[in-house]
Amino acid sequence: MSALQVQAGELLASGKAEVVIGYGEGTRGRVRPVFVRTRADVSLLVFDGRCTANLTVYLAKPEVGRMGKAAIVATPGAVRSLIQLIAEHQVDPGEVVVLAADDDAVTLLTDPAALEAYAAAHPVTIPPEAKAVTESLARMSAQERRAFWDAELSRCFKCYACRSACALCYCTRCITDMNQPQWVCVAPHALGVMEWHLNRAMHMAGRCVQCGSCTSACPAGIPIGLLAMEASRSVEKEFGAQAGLRCDAPPALSSFAADDRESFIL
């Protein structure tokens, strides 16, 4: 039995958790989420390099909430999104236990201070391909950037996998689903797609924890996480607030400072 399975079994046996949300073996060599509710089933749990999906996305689901107190297997990115969910009062820190896993070890985190310490010790890692795209975008002119995003977004058929994979897209009614008034064109045409992704990026500003879940969920292979990441980086650069590091952080775009930059205002 792996260290993860042992720890999960102890949590279930002691009643500290009633369900362990983790990764299990799926089909075609892929992993899938598993919800382990008995000690006998802990053998289903696996953790390796294939486990990149952010499982904290399940914490906001009412059917998962009904399973009782949860323990969650979390990558460093998932730990950050859990911190952000706590800061946004979506998760009660007392209601969830974290089995933080990285390549080397499994760490049990039970309180906000431990989560914050873990997040501080595991800084954001940007995959090399995302770094390469970011660097080439920085060298482009506005027209070239327009053409780049037009080409990338032309592959989007609005399956909303990016939204479903995102732990912080927890609104029960999304702006893109509204039709009175209809803010975002529903069709997956050039305009509707651009508006949807711009809206998502604006709604993730100061909240995206850069876990990379949306990019890996995209069936069209669009580096879609870059938009939300860029919005969050803009907030970090301008207002000094990085998402997913503090459980008591104020919401970046619902707060302000008297000396925020206004050089662009006439």
Partner 1 sequence: MTTELTFEPKIVAFVCNWCTYAGADLTGTSRIAYASNVRIMRFPCTGRIDYNLVLKALEQGADGILISGCHPNDCHYSTGNFHARRRWVVFRHMMEYMGFDLRRVKFAWVSAAEGAKWAEVVNTTVREIRELGPATEYTELHRKGVA
236 contacts partner 1 (rule: CB under 8 A): no
Q: Which value, to the nearest 10 degrees, does the dihedral of the CA atoms of residues 107, 114, 240, 203 take?
A: 70
Output phi, psi for 29, to 5 deg.
75, 10
Contact between 126 and partner 1 (CB under 8 A)? no
Q: For partner 1, which is the closer residue by CB, 59 or 184?
A: 184
Considering only 11, 168, 201, 208, the residue that binds partner 1 (CB under 8 A) is: 201
Position among 67, 126, 133, 198 found at the interface with partner 1 (CB under 8 A): 198
Look up residue 173 and give its DSSP letter. S
| Nearest distance in Å: CB 137, partner 1 | 7
Minimum distance between the CB of residue 155 and partner 1, rounded to whole angstroms?
Answer: 7
Find the shortest distance in angstroms from Cβ 22 to partner 1.
Answer: 35
Indicate whether 23 belongs to the interface with partner 1 (CB under 8 A): no
| Contacts to partner 1 from residues 164-183, by CB under 8 A | 175, 183
Stretch that binds partner 1, among 90-98, 108-116, 165-173, 192-200 (CB under 8 A): 192-200
Query: Which residues lie across from 74 on neighbouring strands?
Result: 100
Instruction: Find all residues with CB under 8 Å of 149, minimum gap 6, and list them.
Output: 194
Contacts of 177 (CB under 8 A, 6+ apart): none
Q: Are 21 and 73 in contact (CB under 8 A)?
A: yes
3-state class (DSSP) for residue 142: helix
Residue 221 DSSP code: -
When asked if residue 264 is in the footprint of partner 1 (CB under 8 A), the reply is yes
**CA angle, 165 as apex, 160 and 169 as ends, to 5°?**
80
Cβ-proximal residues to 193 (8 Å cutoff; 6+ apart), any chain: 153, 154, 156, 158
Q: Which of 111, 189, 219, 221 binds partner 1 (CB under 8 A)?
A: 189
Binding residues (CB under 8 A) for partner 1: these are 137, 140, 142-150, 154-155, 175, 183-184, 187-191, 194-195, 198-199, 201-202, 205-206, 227, 230-231, 234-235, 238-239, 252-256, 258, 260-262, 264-266
